[in-house]
């Protein structure tokens, strides 16, 4: 997470996230219950919603990723490689439930333990999937490990990333299809130095999709046969999406299986992409484009179709600096907000709401602010939201409230 044009205090403190969400599919019974409990409540206009945050834990050390467990706990990844557990009934546990510090290169502001998600059968196996930058040279690493057993780490997939410390991506999440998705940045620095975004021969600047329930030959995973580049010469078959700069946080909608991706911009705009399950192989544009504006014409190719973001906001000469991708709200506490995607920005902390319109297209609005320096937004097993704050080391519970829209229609946009 590079922070360009940030206030000096933020730059000194540094964030870890992106230069610029691991929402796993819950058990079918949970998703079904949530959907059934809210399907008949009409969503209100976004301008009639606001987010309210309540701090529920503090004392975390650079918390940068979180995920919900079936037993109601939230697991919180700290940059140095420790994982802490929080439960709303008992609070933040004093001791880590997992310590991977011996394996992790946390030397740079954006390096460290970057993503964490439980296996779909976690209640039986206790298996976690983690993404991190590994010692000695910061290689992007995807691995699995039983909770509480750091000596039993099994590395699944790696990508060299030694030259620069930023743009590591790092989100991991299971799709409703049962496959594991992992995001990787473009290699770091600025201006896509390796021209990785449009290069299908590298995993840099991509989201990959693999089957971790099987092994194929020497690989501890298999490539799904319907991955879009399985039969393309010179392409890495693991690739699901390409043309990304630093997809620090993405999430999977537990109802329809679509991916919502927050991709950090170079300095002009920040963007949110919404990719449906049938859009594997989509080219999101970087570094031909930054959001919708053209960035590097030398990386644009005639006849190539680029998938536009569904929401973008200005970065240049604003308080914004780096998008923190969020999740679609699928909880039951506020049925009026059901189906609304919420995200934020590390510097401005604005809460952005985006929702598909029944007639096509998307509506969006700014619906308040999250706590300072939001690094991750995710949901518990019930679909209720939490947010992490980087340097203060906070975990906050998030809820929606219904408000009267401002005169003139509020802050919503079609």
Strand partners, 206: 184, 242
Measured over the CA atoms of residue 84, residue 90, residue 94 and residue 98, the dihedral's sign is negative
SS3 category, 408: coil
Count of C-beta atoms within a 10 Å radius of residue 260: 25
Please, what are the domains in the chain? Answer: 8-402 (2.120.10.30)
- pLDDT less than 50: residues of the chain: 1-40, 408-410
Measured over the CA atoms of residue 149, residue 114, residue 329 and residue 87, the dihedral's sign is positive
* Tokens linked to 401: 């409230």
Q: Which pLDDT score is estimated for 95? A: 96
Please give the Cα distance from 158 to 215 (Å, whole number): 16
Strand partners, 362: 356
Q: Which pLDDT score is estimated for 406? A: 67
Q: Is 342 within 8 Å of 351 (Cβ atoms)?
A: yes
Pick from 203, 190, 280, 188: nearest CA to 238:
203
Please give the Cα distance from 134 to 132 (Å, whole number): 6
* Tokens linked to 238: 């693991």
Please give the Cα distance from 21 to 345 (Å, whole number): 14
Q: Is 113 within 8 Å of 132 (Cβ atoms)?
A: yes
Q: Is 219 within 8 Å of 210 (Cβ atoms)?
A: no
Q: Which pLDDT score is estimated for 42? A: 76
Q: Sheet holding 249-252: strands in order across?
A: 249-252, 259-263, 269-275, 311-314
């Amino acid at each position: 997470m590079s922070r360009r044009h940030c206030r000096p205090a933020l730059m000194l403190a540094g964030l870890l996230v992106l230069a610029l969400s691991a929402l796993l599919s819950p058990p079918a019974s949970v998703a079904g219950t949530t959907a059934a409990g809210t399907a008949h409540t009409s969503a209100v206009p976004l301008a009639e919603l606001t987010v309210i945050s309540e701090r529920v834990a503090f004392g975390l050390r650079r918390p940068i990723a979180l995920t919900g467990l079936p037993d109601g706990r939230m697991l919180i990844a700290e940059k140095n490689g420790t994982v802490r557990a929080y439960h709303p009934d008992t609070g933040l546990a004093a001791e880590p439930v997992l310590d991977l510090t011996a394996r992790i290169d946390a030397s740079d502001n954006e390096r460290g333990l970057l993503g964490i998600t439980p296996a779909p059968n976690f209640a039986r196996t206790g298996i976690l999937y983690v993404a991190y930058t590994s010692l000695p040279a910061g290689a992007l690493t995807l691995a699995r490990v039983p909770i509480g057993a750091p000596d039993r780490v099994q590395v699944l997939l790696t990508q060299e990333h030694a030259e620069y410390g930023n743009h590591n991506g790092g989100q991991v999440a299971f799709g409703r299809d049962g496959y594991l998705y992992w995001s990787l940045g473009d290699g770091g620095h600025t201006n896509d130095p390796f021209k990785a975004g449009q290069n299908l021969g590298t995993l840099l600047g991509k989201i990959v999709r693999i089957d971790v329930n099987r092994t194929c030959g020497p690989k501890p995973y298999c490539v799904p046969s319907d991955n879009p580049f399985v039969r393309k010469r010179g392409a890495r078959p693991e690739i699901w999406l390409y043309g990304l700069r630093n997809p620090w946080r993405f999430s999977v909608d537990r109802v329809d299986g679509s991916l919502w991706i927050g991709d950090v911009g170079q300095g002009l705009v920040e963007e949110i992409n919404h990719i449906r399950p049938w859009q594997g192989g989509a080219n999101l544009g970087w570094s031909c484009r930054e959001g919708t504006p053209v960035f590097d014409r030398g990386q644009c190719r005639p006849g190539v179709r680029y998938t536009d973001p569904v929401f973008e906001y200005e970065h240049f000469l604003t308080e914004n600096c780096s998008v923190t991708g969020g999740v679609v709200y699928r909880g039951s506490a506020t049925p009026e907000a059901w189906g609304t995607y919420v995200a934020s920005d590390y510097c401005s902390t604005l809460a952005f709401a985006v929702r598909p319109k029944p007639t096509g297209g998307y509506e969006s609005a700014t619906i308040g602010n999250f706590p300072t320096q939001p690094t991750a937004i995710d949901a518990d097993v019930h679909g209720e939201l939490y947010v992490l704050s980087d340097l203060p080391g906070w975990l906050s519970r998030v809820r929606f409230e219904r408000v009267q829209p401002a005169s003139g229609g509020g802050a919503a946009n079609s």
